[in-house]
Structure 1
Amino acid sequence: MHKFLIAFLIALSGVSWAQVTVPYRIGDRFGIADENGKMLIPATFDVIDVHAPGEFTATKRSANGFKTTYITDNKIRLSDTDYNYFNLDSSFITAVKLKNTGDFGADDSRNSVTDVYTLSGKKVFEQSYRFVNFIEDEKKPALKDEILIITNDLNGKYSLLLLSKKTMKVTRTFFENAVDVDTDYDRFPSSFNVKYVLARETTLNQLTITFENGRIKTHNSEPVSPSSGFGRSVSESYSSYSPPPPPHAYAQEGIKSPQNKPEQINDNIALEIKMVELNKRYTEPFTDQTMTLVNHKLTKEYANLVKVDGKWGYFGNQTKNWILPPSYDEIILDEGKCVFCSTYVVRVDGVYRIIETEHNKQKTYPGKFVKIPHFAKKDFGREGFQLIQLFDEDGKFFAYANQDGKVYYSR
């Protein structure tokens, strides 16, 4: 009986881990539902952006601006905030407000104001920063009950703090008011080095911290030769100000290209293929993602679109084989979701399907759609679950769906 209970709990844990949640549209509003459509968070939001499995930013628009809500693991962590985006880092939430989204740039940290929160929504520091960096490896943590944090305040000065995870209080300040820092992770998590210069001083110092059994073993700061000076500063190398967004979800907004007829040699051979291009500023959560079909020039030595008996196929000129057989009214190139695969959207009689090719093998997903599908996330939250976005003919986002054709939408 005891073994059975343990096996049951392990199985239950696996089911919980594998639960998939998606934005679900009801009417003109979005909420969060499980993969079967059961609502977990009510549909009260105008926009929901997907970051990772179980991680979303939900936004309400109003005449006075917008309010963002940060959601992880089916829980609202921060509600109705003024932040432009959020990051989940080392079990902390960094919430970033941009002074001007039009001036957003990877190196312009002066444009951002960052606050740090716990997962329960408690603000960790009274003051705000330009950015913060957690000195941690979540897979191999150096510290058990504490965490090192480099902060860059609103005046551009750096500090290195030791924060207790239990009390959420700073237990030690290694340095503060530094004008530049350079971090060295080469021996982390056994040790960590950081070079820094304090304000109004010219001495280059190096702080070395060693770790043992989840605690700080030693820490020592000493002047070093300027010849061993700075490589890249923490603001350039490790700033949380500019996290790497999923490219399909956060592509910078561009100019929509006209959906012209692809260039052709004749009526039966095309030198261009329509390709999916997504448009969205991830720093503007109040905006909807849009899709444009742009003309992508083919390398004729590699492949061409070829029409046979009124149907288009994709022919490999090197292999002399059909990559896609001539069976479709339209073929659209979508971005691949794996290293050696390609993804295509095909249309027959007003119905769209998704085809993935890899190593000369072809897989057609069962879902059939009347709106244009985009393969948004592969193996999203669980192997075999594919998250699909649907767009109308004008390129406006409609709703999410899965690989089997289930659309997460109801009136």
Structure 2
Amino acid sequence: MPAHAPAILVLEDGRTFRGDSYGAEGETFGEAVFNTGMTGYQETLTDPSYHCQVVVMTAPHIGNTGVNDEDDESSRFWVAGYVVRDPARVTSSWRSRRSLDDELRAQGVVGISGVDTRALTRHLRERGAMRVAISTAPTDVADPTALLARVRDAGAMPGSELASEVSTTETYVVPAHPGPWGEKKHTVVALDLGIKTMTPRRMAERGCEVHVVPATASLEEITALRPDGLFYSNGPGDPAATTHQVEVLQGALAQGLPYFGICFGNQLFGRALGFGTYKLKYGHRGINQPVMDRTTGKVEVTAHNHGFAVDAPLDAPTTTPYGEASVSHVCLNDDVVEGLELRDAAGRLTGFSVQYHPEAAAGPHDAAYLFDRFIDLMSGSRGLETGAGAPSSTTVGEENA
């Protein structure tokens, strides 16, 4: 194993943790957050939603399955830094191609190991997510005073527009997969706000041809593709700092285009409907969060990565210019809004969203039905006036009411 230099982690409130470098050496800044997943670290590292965040893994032993060439959720690691307690010394999976330490080094991700991550997690739960730095510079390790000053001068997550930094710059197509649903059934436009690889695959498996477009795409560019439905992905940043995508979504809703959003797409759906958003104290991150689908009464174990939430009333629907909006899902830990739905004057579902990740990469498969719900929504809608989407006798939302 390569030698590891001493490293130090400094939080903006002055608390420090010492350990050894893990991954690349150097200095990095970001928002300190913790992830409670026992598995799926490769999917976490390659999730664009973690852009500008230093991720603390609460599971003590990380890296034992190494890194493979199949589980990436994007083309690179996005985390700003990585914090673990006991890194694996040997990789033991037959799928492993290299160690996590080596891959972190190769991708320039500065990390630290040997940290009491339980104490760090408890601190973040009590004080909230905050700015942080990791450094291996001997001067910082010897005296972190100057590093603390740089942490406090670093940018904060509130007010940050980050989706444009992680989005694709060119439109690409994920073709429909032949399978139980047959050949192509629908055309979906997916706005890439930090989309994960598995998400369009889940729609393609269900007969959707998915056009993944940049976050800067206009409503005219979207409708020119004649979609049966519009999808907004997960992504990083403060939803209150995002305006263009909200305006595009409002235009799409006004035209009756069926909508499905996840994570950041849920927050932007809320803003498009007139709700506010706010920053959670320490957020939800992991693959073990309990959520109730209020439309069915079922409880799901779900995968999360969000630090902001929608401020919508739990007890009554809200009249919007696009129909009646209501909270469809809630977190059973803290009653945070985990989903929204929109219905027209006849009570038909026209759009919905969830705050979590139903693509199950990595994570449980409890929420896979949401992709089926989107298919049902598109199958029962005429889509845009331009003719996108075939008429159907199916009543939208009939099976999910």
Same fold (TM over 0.5): no
Give the structure with higher Rg (CA): 1
Q: Which has the higher helix share?
A: 2
Q: Which has the higher strand share?
A: 1
TM (norm. structure 2) is 0.24
